[in-house]
Chains A and B, each alone.
Chain A
């Protein structure tokens, strides 16, 4: 927009550089964790585009993540496709399901929108269980090793796995920056702030929000596909309500409507749960407490709060 056109790119580029260096120095355990965090951050960015920038408070994003996960997993195991094609299919599955969901759900707003997306996601989860013979039901299935090779690299090994995760993350965060810095990003924020007013500037709220939801679905879908391919397991629990709540939590924690917030939220939450699970089996308590603390005391999240205090260069 106005100001130096390069400034908004500095923080994401610096983060990408740091993550690339970490790929060479991290010990194996954290190497694997970081790869998971990067893929989940792509999912979180998808959620951020819908919720953080456009104000679409969805409780059904597990549906889009699950669509990508199962599209990729089933295509590899049943159709024998390659990892690259499976990623593409996951991307399209996420976008397609988001389109179908949005056409109906975007006729509602606010609390109704939350419940409608929740119900669609729940129906999707139950469908996975219902067609258990095909989807593996509750137990899920292990992704065939033949589909976990990309361009000759074995994605079950640390280096290539981290590499693909970082590559996707890079595309996602640069894409997110480009979208929100474009004129369309301004319209997204206008929809969040006051969609009736935005309509009186000639923007179609339904169409704008539908486009946003589809972009969000593409992000979620490709994240789901990558998660299945990189970590080798596809299961219905990834399509359950918890995977709709988590992206909301990540984005709230890191700072909604900020470029780096989704990554930061996933990073902190992942290690919080990881740490607490070594002390107690009730490690999801962290999720509940974090949600309450955020909504009560820090609705802007970490980066949102910092940005308010120290200006816009951070986020």
Chain B
């Protein structure tokens, strides 16, 4: 396989009762790329990234991050190792200010220029004018951007974005795409996305999940040409 794997899973499995949410998934994420994870609703995408970042306990299989076995590492240690996750359902601290939300993510390990770093990130996502607003007074699109800002503030090596463009306007999506392009290759991006325009535009690699299993992996061009993917997902 080409490239250097930043993250690799082998036989990664998670069942919920009788439901095989994730079933024996082998997956490699190349350093410095934007990798999209697509598939129909209920394909197991969110469970899969939940396993990667430690929100969901692994049932079987292994996860290696940068050569280190993190299969059973607690979530907060994975974050410290460099895996950041932004939530599908916006999960900001609603009662805190925009500044405090981002500062929380930026302050560990402790840094003396916290105020400047926080403002820099807010400038990056375009929220610097809302810095003192309480987070729950932001519009939905701005809350999504705040969520992404928190991810960036962690200075991750791997940024996992779970449906980041859901509910964003076209202008906001354009801004988002520029934002993601700017963080690679220092940061590797794993993107769960339903908006195919965004996926085809951004992704270097695409993995298609269906019924908890990998259906195909490849470049946007090969995925678009793949017959199995077309019948299962793209609607042929």
The answer to whether A and B belong to the same complex is: yes
- Does B99 contact A183, Cβ atoms closer than 8 Å? no
Inter-subunit contact A187/B104 (CB<8 Å): yes
Does A186 lie within 8 Å of B107, measured CB to CB? Answer: yes
**Is A204 in contact with B91, judged by CB distance below 8 angstroms?**
no
User: Is A25 located at the chain interface by the 8 A CB criterion?
Assistant: no
- Is B75 engaged at the interface, CB distance under 8 Å to the other chain? yes
Q: Is A194 an interface residue (CB 8 A)?
A: yes
In the bound complex, residues from chain A placing their C-beta under 8 Å from that of B103 are 1, 183, 186
Q: How large is the interface on B (under 10, 10 to 19, 20 to 34, 35 or more residues)?
A: 20 to 34
A184-210: CB near B (< 8 Å → 1, else 0) gives 001101100110111111111100000
* Contact A186 B104, beta carbon cutoff 8 Å: yes
Given contacts A183-B110, A193-B96, A203-B76, contact A198 B104 (CB under 8 A): yes
Task: Tell me if A280 is interfacial: C-beta within 8 Å of chain B.
Answer: no
Other-chain contact of A194, B53, B93, B99 (Cβ < 8 Å): B93
Quick one: closest A residue to B108, CB to CB? A202
Q: B76 — which chain A residues lie within 8 A by C-beta?
A: 199-205
In the complex, what's the smallest C-beta–C-beta distance from A210 to chain B, in angstroms? 14
The answer for the CA separation of A200 and B77 in the assembled complex, in Å, is: 9
Given A199-B75, A200-B79, do A193 and B100 touch, yes or no (CB 8 Å)? no
Contact between chains at A200 and B55 (CB < 8 Å) = yes
Contact B75 A190 (CB under 8 A): no
Cβ-neighbour of A200 out of B85, B94, B115 (below 8 A): B85
> Measured between C-beta atoms, what is the minimum distance from B151 to chain A in Å?
9
Asked if residues A197 and B115 are in contact (CB atoms below 8 Å), the reply is: no
A201–B86 alpha-carbon span in the complex (Å): 10
A193 B99 Cβ-Cβ under 8 A:
no
Structural contact, A194 and B104, CB atoms closer than 8 A = no
B53 touches A200 (CB 8 A): yes
A205 CA to B77 CA, complexed, in Å: 11
- Nearest to A194 among chain B residues (CB) is B93
Give Cα A197–Cα B147 distance, bound, in whole angstroms.
11
Give the residues in chain A near B93, CB-CB below 8 Å: 189-190, 193-194, 197
A2 contacts which chain B residues (CB < 8 A)?
99, 115, 131-132
Q: Is the interface of A mostly helix, strand, loop or mixed?
A: helix
Q: Which residues of chain B are near A187, meaning CB under 8 Å?
A: 104, 107
B104 to chain A, nearest CB (A): 5
Alpha-carbon distance between A193 and B87 when the two chains are bound, in angstroms: 16
A119 to B119 alpha-carbon distance, docked (Å): 47
B132: nearest chain-A partner, CB-CB:
A2
Asked whether, in the complex, the Cβ of A202 is within 8 Å of the Cβ of B154, the reply is yes
In the bound complex, residues from chain A placing their C-beta under 8 Å from that of B85 are 200
* A203 and B108 alpha carbons, distance in the complex (Å): 8
Using a Cβ–Cβ cut-off of 8 Å, how many residues does chain A contribute to the interface with B? 19
In the complex, residue of chain A having the shortest beta-carbon distance to the beta carbon of B114 = A183
Inter-chain CA distance A215–B104, complex, in Å, is 21
For residue A198, which residues in chain B have a CB less than 8 angstroms away from its CB? 104
Hey, what's the 0/1 contact readout for A220-249 against B, CB within 8 Å counting as 1?
000000000000000000000000000000
Residues of B within 8 A of A183 (CB): 103, 107, 110, 114
Q: How far is the CB of A222 from chain B (nearest CB, A)?
A: 28
Closest to B101 in A: A190
Q: Does B150 contact A (CB under 8 A)?
A: yes
Contact mask for chain B residues 157-188; partner A; CB cutoff 8 A; 1 contact, 0 none:
00000000000000000000000000000000
Shortest Cβ distance from residue B204 to the other chain A in the assembled complex, whole angstroms: 25
A183 to B104 CA separation, bound complex (whole angstroms) = 8
Contact B114 A197 (CB under 8 A): no
Contacts of B87 in A (CB 8 A): 197, 200
A197's contact among B80, B91, B99, by CB below 8 Å, is which? B91
Within the assembled complex, what's the spacing in Å between the Cα atoms of A202 and B154? 8
Question: What is the minimal beta-carbon distance from A102 to any residue of chain B, in angstroms?
Answer: 18
- The verdict on B200 contacting chain A, using a C-beta distance below 8 Å, is no
Q: Is the CB of B115 within 8 A of A201?
A: no
Report whether B108 and A201 are in contact in the complex, using a CB–CB cutoff of 8 Å: yes
When the two chains form the complex, which single residue of A1, A186, A193, A202 contacts B79, counting CB atoms closer than 8 Å?
A202
Interface centre among B76, B84, B94, B131 (most CB of A within 10 A): B76
A197 to B94, CA, bound (A): 12
25 contacts between A and B (CB under 8 A): A1-B99, A1-B100, A2-B115, A186-B100, A187-B104, A187-B107, A189-B93, A189-B96, A189-B100, A190-B104, A193-B93, A193-B95, A197-B91, A197-B92, A199-B74, A199-B75, A200-B76, A200-B87, A201-B105, A201-B108, A201-B150, A201-B154, A203-B108, A204-B77, A205-B76
Give 4 A-B pairs besides A197-B87, A199-B76, A203-B76 with Cβ atoms closer than 8 angstroms.
A186-B96, A194-B93, A197-B92, A198-B104
Cβ-closest 3 pairs across A and B = A202-B79, A183-B107, A193-B93
List residues of A whose CB falls within 8 A of some B CB. 1-2, 183, 186-187, 189-190, 193-194, 196-205
